Amino acid sequence: MSRTGRIRLFLCAAAVIAVAYTLACTGLPHFGSAVHPYGARAVAATLKQRTANTISSINFDQRAFDTLGEESILLGSVLGVTALLRRTDEERQSSERGARVLPSTRLFGTLLLPVALLTGIYIVAHGQLSPGGGFQGGVILATALHLAYVAADYRALDRIRPRELLDGVDAVAAGAFTCLGLAGLVVGAAYLKNVLPLGTFNTLSSGGMVPVINAAVGVEVASGVIVLLAYFLDQTITTGPTTSPTITTSPGGPDGTEPSDTSEATS
């Protein structure tokens, strides 16, 4: 197909999409209206599934398949960074000398690290009950671990961060989300159908599969972000180019002798 044909095809497709998008927008409720068809249905489904947090019910129950795709994007990012930033034969590992850290910064990071870890665990564990969830709690957990880098140096972070283990945990957690969807197929329902006991409303065991999927997402996000930052920090701080060997040449010819003078005039 010629370039002109491709442009015409693009313009036709863009026009169809623009018309469809415009018609879809005209059917939306007016901004600030008291009528919210999707919101009313989402809240009703949330209460039916005994989940106190409507957002978590939407993410991990009503449209869990869409969330699975979002989690797969993070997993793909981790795989891509691992492939691109792995240390090659042309790179060498250099020793990183930690800079002097102010006592106030060291104290602040040391005290805040366990608090941030507990906050991340709480947000992941209570994702079906209160604002938060696996995505937010996972990022907080990953950030909390890197307070060791702020309070000390990269070597301290490297000692408490098992990158190889977290690399495997990231893949296992992403696979767990995928395998949880098979429970619905086993009982003859749809993929990722909420088939676990719903429990008592507003308790940690409520929501059926919502807290289970939420926990898997929290583990995957936390380990994935830690692995991503690990490769970027390792590439920036401890990896340098290999020093190329110095090639010296003798001032003379190939055999080390002085070159003959060929500029003499001949009579």
pLDDT digits (tens, 9 = 90+) for 208-247: 999 999 999 999 999 999 999 999 988 888 665 555 554 4
CA distance 139 to 133: 10
Is residue 15 a part of any domain in this protein?
no
- Band of the pLDDT at 111, cuts 50, 70, 90? very high
Q: What is the dihedral of CA 79, 136, 197, 181, to 10 degrees?
A: -20
Q: What are the b/e assignments for 217-243, b being 16+ CB within 10 Å?
A: bbbbbbbbbbbbbbbebbbebbbeeee
Give the pLDDT score at 263. 45
- Residue 213: inside a domain, yes or no? yes
pLDDT at residue 255, rounded to an integer: 52
Mean pLDDT in residue range 10-33: 90
Return the structure tokens found at 8: 């015409």
Count the domains in the chain: 1
**Is residue 230 in some structural domain?**
yes
Is residue 249 assigned to a domain?
no
Domain, as residue range, for 117? 53-82+99-240
| DSSP one-letter string for 55-80 | HHHIIIIITHHHHHHHHHHHHHHHHH
For residue range 66-100, list pLDDT tens digits in order. 999 999 999 999 999 988 888 776 666 665 566 67
Q: What is the pLDDT of residue 123?
A: 95
Per-residue pLDDT, averaged over 11-33, amounts to: 90
Is residue 143 in a domain? yes
Q: Is residue 10 part of a domain?
A: no
The pLDDT, as a whole number, for residue 32 is 76
pLDDT(248) > 50: no
- Residue range 8-26: average pLDDT? 94
* pLDDT over 70 (residue 267): no
Beta strands in the chain (DSSP E): 91-93, 239-241
Which residues are within 8 A (CB) of 237 and not within 5 positions of it... i.e. 6 or more apart?
96, 154
Could you give the percent of the chain with pLDDT greater than 90?
58
Q: Please check whether residue 177 lies inside any domain of the structure.
A: yes
Decide if 45 is inside a domain: no
